[in-house]
Structure 1
Amino acid sequence: MAGDLKAALANADVIHERDVLEQAIATMADAINADLADGPRPVFLTVMHGGLPFAGQLALALGERGLDCEFDYLHATRYRGETSGGELVWKHRPATSLQGRLVLLVDDIVDEGHTLLAVRNWCVEQGASDVRIAALAVKRHDRCVDGIRADYAGVDVPDRYVFGYGMDYHEQGRNLPRIYALR
């Protein structure tokens, strides 16, 4: 069954354990803090649903380093439970004004980047002065859309179906504390 999480776990490899992910997040927080500590207060935009587990960890790590952020979220999706993307659907746009602000987009993964490109472009259209992307995972392949990359990246993952730590397997397993890849 395609949507059976137990079967998926039995047919998957652990790619990154929780301690590796937590260390990657700490390293990212150091880099973000070094870049943003002396500037204006950034808008920390979590991309739902996948970005939620990572964003919570990153937000706390930034707070430990003394970087205050203004928090909001957005929900834009091309997948809606499917394994390939379609047209972008906005489920929630941020209420915070982005005019003249530095925006830190926080998401679970940079795969091909179509959703992140559309979201980044929307932030610019809303007047953001700078948009940076923090992604827990970056998929290793050469299919990323032009102009999209993570300014702050945690770990690389293989060009396979990955899930856990925010990434889903048919809308399941987002709260798994490690990253898996189907065999």
Structure 2
Amino acid sequence: MSADLAHIRQVMAEADCLYTEAEVEAAIEQIAVAINGELAERNPVVFCVMNGGLIFTGKLLPKLDFPLEVSYLHATRYRNETSGGELFWKAKPEVSFIDRDVLIIDDILDEGHTLGAIIDFCRHAGARAVHTAVLIDKDHDRKARPDLKADYVGLPCIDRYIFGYGMDYKGYWRNAAGIFAVKGL
């Protein structure tokens, strides 16, 4: 079933711009500087978390000025109680990261269920160290693990339904040039 494009367009027309494209690009630049300073000698494997991390990863990678391997992963969590929060891999990592540093790049740290599970997976599978970079860290008290913090954070965000730079509204507006909040959400 296709989305109601008139509704999708209206969401963008009425959305509140939380961060402009220039502000997001400046945050990505700051993350790159920090990663270049800390991971340049670590020979990391960089994983883009699909689909949300795609744009952030694409903007960040050319700013990293050291050798690295890139791959992607696509994982979701079953939300029913019988699964225990287990990850469902739509695409598992294809690059070995045993005894390697891993950098996971994702769009947002919201409640942290999926990111936390991916970190645990990488550690259990033999990564020497796991680092995380998120474009947005949403500010609320619903974190799955209050101790879960991203190593590199672009921008803080209020607790609203946001889209742009990889984050979507009903599958749309990942391509929005800025970070926007849906009116009323």
The reply to whether TM is greater than 0.5 is: yes
Decide whether the 8 Å contact of 2:49 with 2:73 is kept in 1: yes
DSSP-derived class of the 1:54 partner = helix
Aligned residue type for 1:16: Y
Q: Which residue matches 2:71?
A: 72
Q: Which residue matches 1:83?
A: none
Distance in 2, matches of 1:98 and 1:49, equals 21
Q: Which residue matches 1:25?
A: 28
Report 1:88-107 matches (<5 A): 88-107=87-106
Q: CA deviation at 1:7?
A: 2.1
Larger radius of gyration: 2
Q: Which residue matches 2:108?
A: 109
How many residues were matched structurally?
Answer: 174
Decide whether the 8 Å contact of 2:49 with 2:72 is kept in 1: yes
| Percent identical | 46
Q: Which residue matches 2:170?
A: 170
Which structure 2 residue ranges, 5 or more long, are not aligned? 79-84
Distance in 2, matches of 1:116 and 1:108, equals 10
Distance in 2, matches of 1:104 and 1:95, equals 14
**Ranges of 4+ aligned residues in structure 1 off by more than 6 Å:** none
Report 1:1-183 matches (<5 A): 4-37=7-40, 39-62=41-64, 66-78=65-77, 88-146=87-145, 147-183=147-183
Q: CA deviation at 1:68?
A: 1.9
Distance in 1, matches of 2:148 and 2:106, equals 13
TM score, norm. by length of structure 2: 0.88
Q: Which residue matches 2:82?
A: none
Decide whether the 8 Å contact of 2:47 with 2:71 is kept in 1: yes
Distance 1:173 1:154, change over 3 A: same
Q: CA deviation at 1:46?
A: 0.2
